[in-house]
Structure formats: structure tokens, C-alpha cells
Amino acid sequence: MSVQEEIKRRRTFGIVSHPDAGKTTLTEKLLLFGGAIQVAGAVKNNKIKKSATSDFMEIERQRGISVATSVMGFEYKGKKINILDTPGHQDFQEDTFRTLTAVDSAIVVVDVAKGVEIQTEKLVKVCRMRKTPMIIFINKLDREGKDAFDLLDEIEQKLGVTVSPLSWPVGMGKRLQGVYNMYNKKFNLFESSKQTISDGESVDIYSDEFDANVGEDAADTLREELELVQGACPEFNIEEYLNGDICPVFFGSALYNFGVQELLDTFIDIAPYPLPKEAEERVIDPFEDKFSGFVFKIHANMDPNHRNRLAFVKICSGIFKRNTNYKHMRLGKQLKFSSPTAFMADKKSVVEEAYPGDIIGLHDSGNFKIGDTLTQGESVNFQGLPSFSPEIFKYIENADPMKTKQLNKGIDQLMDEGVAQLFTIEYTNRKVIGTVGQLQFEVIQYRLEHEYGAKCRWEPMTMHKACWITSDNEEQLEDFKYRKQRNMAKDKDGRDVFLADSPYSISMAQDKFPDIQFHFTSELK
């Protein structure tokens, strides 16, 4: 197979939604239909003892939520599919935002009963800014929920997108009988089996056989609703979808396998293969000969037994080859990787080569930061990795002085993942952790104890904002740091940070020290 054909058969997408909309369950069923797993796990279900494949961290299994993006790749009908299952909880939105820079399209999951929720609106806004093609999957049709037409209106109004349904349900809740695929003009009946799949039976919705299977009333209702949908919604146009101007909509129940195969079959047909990626210097085309890629995620302790740290790299152009020298742009040095890995959540396999669209893991001994670029020599730096600005701050204290070394190592490695910031107050040498959500503190504490054998405790602190400060006026900068010494800290990279306790203190500082620049993001150029 030629390089061009290899690239064109790849589909790399993220699944995003509000917490509990069924995102991870949908991921499991896509893996099941793709033949990547034999039995689908559950995020939270006492009857199914297998946990979700994408929720591989122990805390995820206990909580029943995703707290880190996981990557899964599998083959389906001649296509290489890479799924990135993202955290839905807003406290982990930083991980999700960064992940969206590494996908070529997205599937947005909406709960049929709850409709469009706030976190979904935020994530879709990011996708629309990047013109990422989106498919919307309305999930949990096995439960009673909002009317399908009302849902379409809500999606258009709240998400600001134009919808074009490509499937339509027959019934809802206990009355749910199947899903009609408007894309290939077939109706599929499924067995309501949670863990296994059934191909179903395809029939013509205008046939007597269809009336006999679902009942005349349900058949008439479907035909009437299809007429209304076709009159009210624009016809699906693949070019408009690829430009991000129209969103196809599918209905189903991931838990009971309704509508999942229709979604997957249509997805591989219409979703884009790897797209050009914008760098600061120029646009990088995936079909270029020379390799380039960027780090969008770092995960410490993928395997706690080996304390290994992996950098997740999205390949943007060329072919990545094992044991080949590539230039690390920020460090300006050549690096060689002997065991690059492909993912199936926490399961990894060494790959000899990988193509644009693929996500690979590189073992990292501290060389990588989020946003780093690897190339075959050209000076290229990729854009668009969102920076992180903390909103909640707490002192971190050692709860077990015998494990100081383990605690310091754990903090150091977990901060590199980019979901929290470490500040060291210069006046007292106390360490402060800043995050966007309260739940992050619980995850950090849990992982420090279970992955590093270290215990910590949190102490509250009143803090409004972390401001990174720079200035060409050295005298004014030193004067500011002297006057504000109790509020001055260093971040993990040794940069000056002003920990402001109120908006007023920032405003006063900006007025009194006009030559100092106050930055509210952590990634300074």
C-alpha cells in the first residue's frame, strides 16, 4: 500500500461530551463493533464486572469517570481508526482542549433526556473555532427523553450549528424498536444486548415486512417524521460537513447497541483523513515527505510498576520510523526512540513506523513538555495548544516526612502532565498547586499515594490569579519583586510569578509599574 493510501485510510477523532452523557460507553461499543475487544466494559455497572477499556487508571475505575484522555487504535473495514476518549468533567477540560488539537474530527455525545449541557457548549465552541468537523450522537434512547425535534432545535440554538439528521429513531424508552439510517436508506433492528453485537436485519421502511416488524402505527409515525425532518433540515452535504458548517446527527443507545454501527459505518465513510496542520511558520500538509509531529499530552506512570512516562505525539506529516534521529525543536538536539508505542488504552505495542493521523507514545525521561515539536530537521513549531491558567490554589504539605523524595518526584512528574501548575513561594519556600477544578486536588492526592507511595495534605489559601511577569526594565522589575516579595513565586520552569490575592492588587500593580507585562497564561513566547 502506498504512503498516500495509508494516510487516506486513517480516521483520528475525539469523543467529547458533558459528564455522564455516555461518552466512554460509546467508545467501548465502537471498539466492540470494530473487533478491538470481545466484551464491552462498563463505566459504572454492578452487573458487568469488566471496566471500560478507556478508563484504565484505578481512580477512573473507582469513580466511574474519565480523568485523563486515553487513546485507542483499531482496524475496521480497511480503515485505521484512532479514538481519543476525553474527560467530560469540567475540572479536566484542559486535557480535553489540548486533545482537540490532535484530532481531525469529533463525535459529540448528547444525553436524550438532559439535552445540551454547559460543558458540551464549551467543547463545541473549541471545535467550531478550529472548524473541526463534528458528528452529533444523541444517546440513551433506551430511556425516556426529549422529543427528537425539540432536541434538534436545542442543538442548533445552544451549539450554534446547523444539523442534518442521518438516522432517526423508532420509539423511545421501552418503546424503542430500532434506528432508521437515512444515509443508506435502511432500517436496522437490534437485540437489546449490552455486551454482544448483532448485525440486525435490514429492511425497506416502505415494505409490508417493515410494518409487520414494528407495527403499522410505529411505521406510519416514522414515515411522517422523516417527511418533516427532510422538509425542516438541510440535506447532508459532505463538503459542508468537512468545512464544519453542518453537523450530521445520529440517534441511538450506546449501552444497548442501538445506532452504534450506523454511526461507525457512516463515520468511516464521511469523516476526514488527516488534515493540514497550521504551524507558526507555515501550513504542514500530511502528504509531505518529511516527518513532523507535536506533543499534546504527557502521562506519568502509564504502567505504575515501571514508573514510565509517555509523551503522546500526533504525527502531522511524513513517516515516523523507529530508531531514527529526529530534531527536538525546543531543545535543539537530535533524539532517537527505540520503542515507540501504539495504544489500546493502557495496552501498548511497539511500532516500527507510523503515519500522519496516528498517535504514538514516546518514552520520556524528562525531555518533553506539552507543545514540543519533533521534525526531520525543519524549524517548525505547531500552534493552537491552549495554555492553562489556574483558578484554585492550595498549599501542598508533606504528610509523611519519610517519603519526601517520593513526594517531590511525584509532584514533579504529575505537573509535567499539564493539568496543574506548581509554584514555589520565594519568601517561605512553600509549594502551591494551582488547578482549574477542585476534583484535580483529589486526583493528585490519590495518584501521589497510589503511584508514588507519598502522602500529602492540602491547606487552603486565598488567591485570585497567577500572573507571569516580564519586563525590559530591570530596575522596575526588581523594585516590584522587592515590594511584592511575599507574593512572588517561581513556576516549575523558574519563571517569575506574581500570586495576586485580588483583582484590585493586579490593577494597582499595573498602574504603578507600567513597564511590567502581566501575563495570564503560562505559555509565554
pLDDT for residue 88 is more than 70: no
For position 10, what pLDDT does the model report? Answer: 93
User: Please, which residues bridge with residue 425 across strands?
Assistant: 489
- Domain check: are 107 and 234 in the same one? yes
- Domain check: are 364 and 401 in the same one? no
Is residue 483 helix, strand or coil? helix
- Domain check: are 85 and 233 in the same one? yes
**4-25 pLDDT tens trace:** 999 999 999 988 887 777 877 8
Note whether residue 85 is domain-resident.
Answer: yes
For position 187, what pLDDT does the model report? Answer: 75
- Domain check: are 309 and 426 in the same one? no
Query: Which backbone phi and psi does 260 adopt, to 5 degrees?
Result: -75, -45
Are 75 and 34 in contact by the 8 Å Cβ rule? The answer is: yes
Give the whole-angstrom CA distance, residue 268 versus residue 257.
18
Q: pLDDT-based confidence at 217, cuts 50/70/90? A: confident
Q: Give mean pLDDT, residues 140-147.
A: 89
Are 115 and 121 in contact by the 8 Å Cβ rule? The answer is: no
- Domain check: are 224 and 201 in the same one? yes
For position 384, what pLDDT does the model report? Answer: 58
Place of cell 504512503: 3
Whichever domain contains 413, its CATH number is: 3.30.70.3280
Q: Give mean pLDDT, residues 354-377.
A: 88
Output the nine-digit C-alpha cell for 138.
444523541
Pairing of the two strands 247-251 and 134-139 = parallel
Note whether residue 380 is domain-resident.
Answer: no
- Domain check: are 79 and 146 in the same one? yes
Note whether residue 386 is domain-resident.
Answer: no
Residue 216, Cα to own-chain centre: how many angstroms?
43
Structural domain boundaries enclosing 348: 277-375
Tell which of 239, 270, 301 closes a domain: 270
- Domain check: are 58 and 25 in the same one? yes
Residues 6+ apart with CB under 8 A from 69: 14, 84, 85, 86, 87, 95, 96, 98, 99, 297, 312
Note whether residue 177 is domain-resident.
Answer: yes
More confident residue, 132 or 34: 132
- Domain check: are 427 and 365 in the same one? no
Residue 163, Cα to own-chain centre: how many angstroms?
23
Winning range, highest mean pLDDT, from 85-94, 193-202, 342-351, 412-421: 412-421
- Region of 63 (left: φ > 0; alpha: ψ -120 to 50; beta: rest) is alpha
Give the whole-angstrom CA distance, residue 78 versus residue 189.
25
Note whether residue 338 is domain-resident.
Answer: yes
Neighbours of 262 (CB within 10 A): 24
For position 364, what pLDDT does the model report? Answer: 84
Whichever domain contains 97, its CATH number is: 3.40.50.300
Residue positions counted in the chain: 525
Note whether residue 172 is domain-resident.
Answer: yes
Note whether residue 525 is domain-resident.
Answer: no
Tell which of 212, 244, 270 closes a domain: 270
Note whether residue 333 is domain-resident.
Answer: yes
- Region of 377 (left: φ > 0; alpha: ψ -120 to 50; beta: rest) is left
CA angle 14, 15, 16 (to 5 degrees): 110
Domain count, the chain: 3
- Domain check: are 408 and 440 in the same one? yes
- Domain check: are 439 and 407 in the same one? yes
Q: Give mean pLDDT, residues 218-243.
A: 89
For position 99, what pLDDT does the model report? Answer: 77
- Domain check: are 19 and 49 in the same one? yes
pLDDT for residue 223 is more than 90: no
For position 153, what pLDDT does the model report? Answer: 94
Tell which of 270, 287, 307 closes a domain: 270
- Domain check: are 156 and 200 in the same one? yes
Place of cell 437489546: 192
Give the whole-angstrom CA distance, residue 466 versus residue 464.
7
**233-278 pLDDT tens trace:** 899 999 999 999 999 999 988 888 778 888 898 899 999 999 898 8
